[in-house]
Amino acid sequence: MTENSDTPVVIVERRSSGLGAFLGGTILGAVVALLYAPKSGEETQAEIRDRVKRLRDEAEDRLHLMRDDVEGRYRRVKDDVEDRVDRVRGDLTERVDTAREDLRSRKVQAEEAVKVGRTTARKAREDLERRVAESKEEYKQRVAELTEEAEEELPEAVEIAEEPAAD
Domain interval for residue 92: 21-127
The pLDDT value recorded for residue 129 is 95
Residue 65 in domain? yes
State the maximum Cα–Cα separation within the chain, in Å, rounded to a whole number. Answer: 183
Residue 84 in domain? yes
Each residue's pLDDT tens digit, 59-101: 889 889 999 999 999 999 999 999 999 999 999 999 999 999 9
Number of domains in the chain: 1
The pLDDT value recorded for residue 23 is 72
Per-residue pLDDT, averaged over 130-152, amounts to 92
Each residue's pLDDT tens digit, 94-128: 999 999 999 999 999 999 999 999 999 999 999 99
d(CA 52, CA 46): 10
Residue 76 in domain? yes
Task: Give just the sign of the alpha carbon dihedral 94, 98, 104, 107.
Answer: negative
Distances (CA, A) of 35 to 31, 46, 51: 6, 15, 14
The pLDDT value recorded for residue 70 is 92
Lowest-pLDDT range of 46-60, 113-127, 150-164 = 150-164
3-state helix, strand, coil in the chain (%, to 5): 85, 0, 15
Cβ proximity of 62 and 17 under 8 Å? yes
Cβ proximity of 67 and 17 under 8 Å? no
CB under 8 Å to 2, separation ≥6 — which residues?
none
Each residue's pLDDT tens digit, 13-46: 555 566 677 777 777 777 777 667 666 778 777 8
Residue 133 in domain? no
pTM of the model: 0.41
Residue 7 in domain? no
d(CA 154, CA 34): 158
Distances (CA, A) of 11 to 33, 53, 108, 159: 26, 30, 75, 146
Residue 162 in domain? no
Using pLDDT thresholds of 50, 70 and 90, give the confidence band for residue 1.
Answer: very low
